[in-house]
Amino acid sequence: MARRRGAGPLWALGGAALGVCLAGVAGQLVEPSTAPPKPKPPPLTKETVVFWDMRLWHVVGIFSLFVLSIIITLCCVFNCRVPRTRKEIEARYLQRKAAKMYTDKLETVPPLNELTEVPGDDKKKKKKKDSVDTVAIKVEEDEKNEAKK
């Protein structure tokens, strides 16, 4: 049998590595103790005292009432009722459409002071000599001049 070159030190190195690994694993093994096992904690039931002498069902009830009151308050404040029928959905759509049209029309209405004229008040008295005439005022004056002719 022919011996290969370099096989001896390789086997020695592998054996040493295996020995180190086994020593590390053996150090992690838990020694069995002779002490009695730890008692299990009592099971969690609805009568278990959680804190401040309140039982678990007290805490769950108070928390659920708190969450329910927040939900009801938010629904009342923001009016987030879900429509139930097709008629209600269509009515709400038409209502929003009408409100949008109303606001769009309202934006086109000129301010009140431009719509109303005070009796006996003359526009020429208000006009200063230094003010520049706008196109609208010139058109109105031209129309008045044409109507007089």
Q: Is 95 a residue whose pLDDT tops 90?
A: yes
pLDDT of residue 17: 75
**Please, what's the b/e burial string for 70-84 (b: 16 or more CB within 10 A of its CB; e: otherwise)?**
eeeeeeeeeeeeeee
Segment 111-125, tens digit of pLDDT: 777 767 766 666 555
Residue bearing tokens 């002719």:
149
On whether the CB atoms of residues 55 and 46 are closer than 8 A, the answer is: yes
Confidence of residue 100 (pLDDT cuts 50, 70, 90): very high
Half-sphere CA count of 102, side-chain side, radius 13 A: 6
Say what the pLDDT of residue 94 is.
94
Question: pLDDT tens digits, residue range 5-21?
Answer: 555 666 666 777 777 77
pLDDT tens per residue across span 31-90? 777 888 888 888 888 788 888 888 888 999 999 999 999 988 888 887 776 767 888 889
From CA 32, how far away is CA 35, in angstroms rounded?
Answer: 9
What does the pLDDT read at residue 132? Answer: 60
Statement: the pTM of the whole predicted model exceeds 0.85 = no
